[in-house]
Chain A
Amino acid sequence: MDIKALRTKLSGTITSAFQTYAKKEEKPASSSSAFWIMVQKEFGDHIRSWRFAILMGIILLACIGSVYSAVTALRSGSAAEQAEEGFRFLQVFTLSDGTLPSFISFVTFLGPLMGIALGFDAINTERSKGTLSRLVSQPIYRDDILKAKFVSTLLVIAVAILALGLLVMGLSLIVIGYPPTAEEVWRVLLFLLTAIVYVGFWLNLSILFSVRFRQATTSALAGISLWIFFSVFYSMILNLIAKGAAPSSTAGTEEVMDYQRLMMMLNRLSPSELFNEANMTLLMPSVRSLGPLTMEQVVGALPSPLPLGQSLLLVWPQLTGMIAATMICFGLSYLLFMRQEIRSRS
């Protein structure tokens, strides 16, 4: 009898446990899963879009071109003076024979285009197509929409950049037949990571514009003009300032150093300059400092390449700067988006 009672009791407990389990199953999914569903959908949209195919086409061409140009440069032996230090493999990314720019200058130039092209219509097209008002009436947090847009596009960018970088590595491995060392592989991977952060900044900037401007064309134009400003006009403006602020030829060391620091500060306001400094340090281990060095500092230094850890330390501020700029853009778009009233197609 006892056993029977126990059995009934036990089965009752199990049933109720199952019921609670079943109830949990029925419970509407948490908002985090809604977030990942949105990311999934956005990711799919990007991959299927013509825009992405065209972008990849351009960048792929640029990659092949830069590898070709680097390989001809390597063959002609223009890298002889650097080659003795090793890291010959990394030169595939930095070297150019003069006909086509190197891989890093391609990434510096085309990366922003990729970020802008994938983000400029993130919010405003949803708005003008009337899908945004439908989306915000679903049980999801509004900021998840913005986050999903950012995360999915960044994922697409990360996949694309990693694929391209590894493609270039593989291609050059075949062409020059010279295997990379472990450190070189790490340096390339870190460089690709910086590139992702850099493109991520431009992506966030264009998402900010897409929240701010109702017209997709306006936001694309705003993004592109900022990109052109930084890649063409900013250095010209800096030159003007440099001429005006240059110390006289009789100025002391302190004055010259101050001037140098000021110019560098201004230069580093540009995200592309930050990216340049970062990838130079990562891909050219012989770069020892990004600022001016006095004679005292150089005396006694061995002219050897920096170990990876030291190079990383050197670019840490640049990386932090880029991430901070990304955060600021994201924060601004968040602020704007959360306060906006969403009516259909207006």
Chain B
Amino acid sequence: MAPHIENAELAVELSGLSKAYGDHLAVNKLDLTIPKGEIFGLLGPNGAGKTTTILMMLGLTEPTSGVVRVLGLDPARNALEIKRRVGYMPDDLGFYEDRSGLDNLIYTARLNGLSGEAARESAKRLLERVGLSAAGGKKVGAYSRGMRQRLGLADVLIKRPEMIILDEPTLGIDPKGVSELLELITRLSKEEGITVLLSSHHLQQVQQICDRVGLFVSGRLVACGGLEELSKSLEEQHAVIVEVEVDGWTEELRRELEALEGVASIRHVAEHPNGRQTAAEVACSSDLTAKIAGAVVAKGAGLLGIRRRSYSLDDVYRRYFEGGDTYGH
């Protein structure tokens, strides 16, 4: 039976996807498309339904309703074919602890149809690639968290996938390890043209490497797009924020600033122990950076720093997740 290909350019196509566990709706009418070759970040707090969505893509759990197409294939019918072409790294991945990293990789390779010798070859090559060639002979039980994660990446790549799905790949590793891992993922994606779908609740990391992100809150995709796109949508609705750092902050200066046309509010952020240096956030309806700077200098205070805040994903994230239930419902 020839698998039915709907759109060859799309790696993932979800429409109206829902999954219910009893009364609880884990995923609610999800529509999402990911083109081939993209790094897509699925961002959301714990329990938002990210893992459930991923499981449905791989045919590891059945959707309650809706359509899933991965590489043009239906997971309910061609699960084996999808698993052959898509690598999946679970969030809390485990290895056979009393076997070496190399053995673990060889096992996966052989399950994917490589013969004994070829499996050993490619396992060694991948260990080198993820920087574990020295530790390849050690038992996985002795691996650190970061090493496991890298081994996991090798494990996913050994089947030469067209797409990899990484569920919380950065969970529990130190910042240096995170940036190394992410760099590795980016390099692999660009060099080999692999589509990457990674889920995370750590936005800074996702922000670094993703082409596009989808924000996921309680089973719904509340926003989706490139970083600029998301920031823009945020800016339109929000006031401009100017961060200012002043040496010699006074109440008078505060009043002066508040009196400026267009300033909505001033928020004290931090005060230096010596009581003079202060950081503040000024919310205004338009870009008043220059005027604020002028006002501060005119008052005779020392202007230590001023910048107009550009929206990072952080703000987007905070707005959607910490803004409470008012969004996306």
A contact set with B: CB distance below 8 Å: 27-29, 31, 33-34, 37-38, 41, 45, 48, 129-131, 133-141, 341-345
Contact = CB atoms under 8 A, between A and B. Distances in A.
Given A131-B96, A139-B111, 10 more contacts: A28-B84, A33-B113, A131-B94, A133-B60, A137-B83, A137-B88, A138-B111, A139-B113, A141-B80, A344-B93
Given A136-B60, A138-B112, A344 B91 contact: yes
Interface residues of B, number: 32
B321 interface: no
B93 A341 contact: no
Contact of A341 (B61, B80, B96, B98): B61
A139 B84 contact: yes
A33 B112 CA distance: 10
Given A37-B111, A141-B80, A134 B94 contact: yes
A143 to B, nearest CB: 12
A333 B159 CA distance: 30
Nearest to B84: A139
B265 to A, nearest CB: 45
Contacts of A129: 94-97
Nearest to B91: A344
A341 B89 CA distance: 16
11 contacts: A29-B115, A34-B111, A37-B107, A131-B94, A131-B96, A133-B60, A133-B93, A139-B112, A341-B55, A343-B51, A344-B93
Contact of B92 (A31, A136, A344): A344
Most chain B CB within a 10 A radius of its CB, from A31, A131, A137: A137
Given A130-B94, A344-B92, A137 B84 contact: no
Nearest to A30: B113
A233 B66 CA distance: 53
B111 A131 contact: no
A28 B115 CA distance: 9
Nearest to B96: A131
Contact of A130 (B58, B80, B88, B90): B90
Interface string B97-121: 1100000000110111111000000
B80 A31 contact: yes
Contacts of B38: none
Given A31-B80, A139-B84, A343-B51, A133 B111 contact: no
B155 interface: yes
Contacts of B155: 134
Interface in B240-289: none
Contacts of B58: 137
Given A28-B84, A342-B60, A343-B51, A137 B90 contact: yes
A28 B92 contact: no
A20 B171 CA distance: 46
Contacts, number: 82
Contacts of A130: 90, 92-94
B113 A34 contact: yes
Interface string B186-224: 000000000000000000000000000000000000000
Given A28-B84, A37-B110, A134 B61 contact: no
A139 B155 CA distance: 13
B60 A139 contact: no
B93 A138 contact: no
Contacts of B55: 341, 343
Contacts of A37: 107, 110-111
Contacts of B51: 343
Most chain A CB within a 10 A radius of its CB, from B89, B97, B113: B113
A341 B60 contact: yes
A260 B207 CA distance: 78
Contacts of B93: 130, 133-134, 344
Contacts of A33: 113
Nearest to B80: A139
A138 B108 contact: yes
Contacts of A342: 60
A130 B51 CA distance: 14
Contacts of B98: 48
Contacts of A344: 90-94, 167
A140 B58 CA distance: 13
A190 to B, nearest CB: 37
A135 B110 CA distance: 12
Contacts of A343: 51, 55, 90
A107 B77 CA distance: 46
Contacts of A133: 60, 90, 93-94
Interface string B148-173: 00000001000100000001000000
Nearest to A44: B99
Contacts of A134: 88-90, 93-95, 108, 155
A140 B111 contact: yes
Contacts of B94: 129-131, 133-134, 344-345
Contacts of A38: 111
Please give me the 6 A-B residue pairs with the lowest Cβ-Cβ distance, nearest first.
Answer: A130-B94, A28-B113, A29-B113, A344-B90, A137-B88, A139-B84
A167 B132 CA distance: 46
Nearest to A33: B113
Nearest to A29: B113
A333 B18 CA distance: 28
Nearest to B155: A134
Contacts of A141: 80
A48 B96 CA distance: 13
Most chain A CB within a 10 A radius of its CB, from B60, B84, B87, B108: B60
A126 to B, nearest CB: 8
Contacts of A41: 107
A48 B60 CA distance: 32
Contacts of B83: 137-140
